[in-house]
Amino acid sequence: MNLVAVGVNHTTADVELRERLAFSAQQAEAALASLRDMPGVREAALLSTCNRTELYCLTEDDPGPDFTAWLAGSRHLPVERLAAVLYQYRGEQALEHMMRVAGGLDSLVLGEPQILGQMREAYARAHEAGLLNGELSRLFQEVFSVAKRIRTETGIGANPVSVAYAAVSFARHIFADLKKSRALLIGAGEMVELVARHLHEQQVQEITIANRTQQRADALATSVGGRGISLEELPVALERADILISCTAAPLPIMGKGMVERALKKRRHRPMFMVDIAVPRDIEPEVGELDDVYLYTVDHLQEAIQENVRARQEAAREASDLIRDAIVRHRRQRREQDAVSVLRDYREQRTALAESELQKALQQLHNGGDPEEVLRRFQHSLVNKWLHAPSVTLRKMAAEGRAEALLVARELLLDDDQ
């Protein structure tokens, strides 16, 4: 059986092509059904995210089916366009690639944790489709085991390397328990959406999203169990906010020192944590001079992110060592598995010889033969038949001068390494 990993990711294909190659959950089910009927494919799984689409297959032959043509046909793309960006790995390289993907080492954001969950979903979907019959399933378990070790034994995910996650991480340093905090987000773009998701994952008590167009604020707030408001409602909403994160495209600041001072009085000077991600800034710099305000800008976050990137790169080197060790173990296990099949065949052969001689001995006893004589003939005949094939082979190797093979035979047959 041959393991193959085929796909595209953010380093080989632009976003337009990745969008064309993306599979929804329903499309993935249909694709798996198509793979199941593909000649030469024994087992298969399909991973599809915003940054990658990959197939993991066990094939009967090498090189096996034309997955480039299959993928191009399934997404209605010219084969030539796809062939220029598609990568293919085989055998141990394919397994190593799967481990790097699951461990977050091949991600756009180094060490991001979501990919492991997405691989588990791909595994579950393939299992439900009846496309994991044993060996590929075991390989997936090896991949998941290594990814778990990377998460627990290295610092690959300990430090935030995205602006959105860094903003939430800063908030966790100010407030010991985010579950008791209220968050106010200004804007409804991609950055605020990411911040909202991170805060929702931290189970923040309340999320309010303010935007110039309240309809967009409502839509985003609904997705995270929050509420949307217009910018005109900011002064009142600010009074309840422990955490404020802003990222709009406004040309001038939308929040001044006076507005914040009035909110602090209403809050009885309970501290407020603010992050201004916008460029140009949404919050006047003078707000940071207030005693009860912790104001950070995108520059503060970038400094922390750069340091965290360096830390993750070191962790990535440690993770690569774990993967190399796992590949070595896998290689050893595969070699041991090869020995198992030889041993099984050898046992079956020896057992058949012994059964044949045993039946002869039993028949002799049934015919009144002397038990001691029957047993001696049984022993003599069985040993001769067991040794016949090895004797012929050993004499042949000796005649050919194969000294090394004779040493191996001695170690194997006599439990002797001399």
Every domain range in the chain assigned CATH 3.30.460.30? 2-157
pLDDT attached to residue 168: 86
Query: ∠ CA(166), CA(172), CA(173), 5° rounding?
Result: 95
Nearest to 57 by CA among 46, 68, 69: 46
pLDDT attached to residue 214: 92
Q: Which amino acid type is present at position 368?
A: G
pLDDT attached to residue 135: 92
Cα→Cα distances 191→14, 197, 198, 255, Å: 21, 10, 11, 19
Every domain range in the chain assigned CATH 3.40.50.720? 163-306
Phi first, then psi, for residue 177 (nearest 5°) are -130, 100
pLDDT attached to residue 194: 87
CA distance 199 to 178: 8
- Residues in the chain predicted with pLDDT less than 70, given as ranges, are 1, 159-161, 416-418
pLDDT, tens digit (0-9, with 9 covering 90-100), for 146-204? 999 999 999 887 766 677 877 888 888 788 788 999 999 999 988 899 899 989 989 99
Q: Name which CATH class applies to 2-157.
A: alpha beta
CA distance 361 to 367: 10
pTM over 0.75: no
List, by residue number, the catalytic residues.
50
Q: What is the CATH number of domain 163-306?
A: 3.40.50.720
Q: Which amino acid type is present at position 4?
A: V
